[in-house]
Structure 1
Amino acid sequence: MTDEPRLSAQDMIERLSPALSPRTRIRAVTALLAGAAGAVFVGALWWTEPGPLPGRTHLAFALFTAFCLAWAAYGGWLLTRRVPLFATDRVIAAWIGLAASLATTAVLTVVAAQRGTGVGPVLAVGGGFVAVALVLVVRAQARRAALLRRRRELSGAQPGRTS
């Protein structure tokens, strides 16, 4: 017998790999930079538009700026993580993508309806983006659940307990 204490599953996981893989770190930096650049670009475009803008245009600029800031915040949050995430990052990214695709589809549908150009193509393309985003949400949540289940199995926790 050794005098060394037994490591929990969490301790083993933390010792096996760094908190963020290089691939995840690249995704985080990309999200941070793209989100910040997008927010600056959309904000500058919104600010420099001449004359009074219609309310729906203000709404569209505000939504696009908000989504860019959400991606920048996601990238910054991901870069600061020092613990294993168990696919939480993927769940958050998938929900941001779903929210952005739903809101963009809704705004573009309203614009198309007001202009009388037909909402069919907007709903078809937007529906495709929403469907893909929804699949990503389901896959991310399933992956997270599987990882958490595996962690519980490795640590010997009781089946009904969550962490």
Structure 2
Amino acid sequence: MTDEPRLSAQDMIEHLAPVLSLRVRIRAVTTLLAGAAGAVLVGTLWWSEPGPLPGRTQVAFALFTVLCLAWAAYGGWLLTRRVPLFATDRVIAAWIGLAASLATTALVTVVAVQRGTGAGLALAVGGLFAAVALALALRAHARRAALLRRMHELTGGEER
């Protein structure tokens, strides 16, 4: 027997895993900058439009600004994490992507119907994007669940 302090399995996992790998940091910075740049671009276009804009145009500008800000916030949140994420970042990104594809599909479909061009193409393309985003969300949830199950096995069910 030794008098060395014993590390729990959770402590060992945290010491083995880097806080944020270089790849994750690059992804986070890219997401933060792209979201912020998109919000600035869309906001500038919205602000600089002459005269009163139609209601659906106002909604579109607001929607795209909110989506860009969501991506920027996600990138910022990811950069501030100091603990293993166990794929939480992928789950959040997948849900933002799904929300963006559904909102964009709804907006484009409304515009297509109001213009009289029919909703078929808008729904087909939007449905494809939404289906891919949903598949990614389900895969992210499954990956997170597998990682959490593995952590639970390694820690023997101990809670921190």
Cα offset, 1:14, TM superposition: 1.3
Q: Work out the percentage of aligned pairs sharing the same amino acid.
A: 80
C-alpha distance in 2 between matches for 1:6 and 1:77: 32
Per-residue CA shift, 1:40-90, capped at 9, x if unaligned?
A: 000000000111101111000000000000000000000000000000000
1:148 counterpart SS class: helix
Counterpart position of 1:82: 82
Per-residue CA shift, 1:90-132, capped at 9, x if unaligned?
A: 0000000000000000000000000001111111110010000
Counterpart position of 1:32: 32
Q: Counterparts in 2 of 1:74-113, with a 5 A limit? A: 74-113=74-113
C-alpha distance in 1 between matches for 2:2 and 2:110: 70
Cα offset, 1:17, TM superposition: 2.2
Cα offset, 1:8, TM superposition: 1.5
CA root-mean-square deviation: 1.2
Q: Is 1:52 the counterpart of 2:56 in the alignment? A: no
Unaligned ranges ≥5, structure 2: none
C-alpha distance in 1 between matches for 2:151 and 2:4: 22
The TM-score, its normalising length taken from structure 2, stands at 0.97
The TM-score, its normalising length taken from structure 1, stands at 0.95
Counterpart position of 1:22: 22
C-alpha distance in 1 between matches for 2:47 and 2:70: 20
Unaligned ranges ≥5, structure 1: none
Counterpart position of 2:154: 154
Counterpart position of 2:4: 4
C-alpha distance in 2 between matches for 1:57 and 1:123: 19
* 4+ long deviations beyond 2 Å: none
Cα offset, 1:5, TM superposition: 2.1
Cα offset, 1:21, TM superposition: 1.0
C-alpha distance in 1 between matches for 2:8 and 2:57: 54
